Amino acid sequence: MFIDSHCHLDFDVFDEQRDSLMSRCLENGVAGFLVPATTVASWSKLEILMKRYPEWRAAYGLHPYFLSEASLDQIDFLAEQCDTPRVVAVGEIGLDCWPNAIDMKVQVAFFTRQLSVAKSLKLPVILHARKSYDLVFKYLREVGFKCGGVVHAFNGSSEQAKRFLDLGFVLGIGGTVTYPRAQKAHRVLALLSDNAFVLETDSPDMPLYGFQGQHNTPLSIPLIAQSVAQIREESVEQIAQQTYDNLLRTFPRWNEDLL
């Protein structure tokens, strides 16, 4: 069984195909989905969709790249929003140093306040850290956050990986590793311990090699697992089991509503 630990299945692009896509995923062994919210406006839609798809788990947060219409007082409602069924994390939160991203001081204010909420709730977080691994690590330390989570779309060095792993995080491994030119990502992945990573797609973004220009979906997870298995010289079955175990360890609430 595979789980997609990061997919935006609530996005409008999936509205016309969501039911059929979910059926195809289940038929192909992709049986769990973690859907992180990005804006306050998306919280209510995700909450409604969660009632339709029992295989979904949610995370709620304010994504750093979409803060232009956000306000800090929205974070006051984050704890209440996380007190709804099948919520396993706070996210997607973090820092984004990509061109045209919002002012970093604003990002830091949102990030640290959301970290504090997650810390008070003892929930893990889903970290967005585009071109900002060292900065994100700095604020994790300043806030004293020790509840772990996933570093989404990790593409850093082995040294950066170790720093996050030592803080109790796992690394999100996605379509990047399917590209032959991604030699640094391959080297880092090959050196990771079995308990250090989970699989993700970031659907509808981050298409795999050979699928550039197409919308990504969780159906890509078995293909990512095949690339990971080849790079690590393990079987796909081993990768599936390891990443499933890692996900359950990282998100203790995953199965609590099923007990």
Query: For 74-91, what is each residue's pLDDT tens digit?
Result: 999 999 999 988 999 999
Q: How much is the pLDDT for 259?
A: 43
Number of domains in the chain: 1
**Domain, as residue range, for 237:** 2-258
CA distance 41 to 39: 5
Q: What is the domain-level CATH number for residue 245?
A: 3.20.20.140
Q: Determine the straight-line distance between the first and last CA of the chain, rounded to whole angstroms.
A: 19
Q: Is the bond preceding residue 204 a cis peptide, omega within 30 degrees?
A: yes
pTM of the model: 0.97
**List of the chain residues with pLDDT < 50:** 259
Burial pattern 141-170, b for ≥16 Cβ within 10 A else e, equals eebebebbbbbbbbbbeeebbebbbebebb
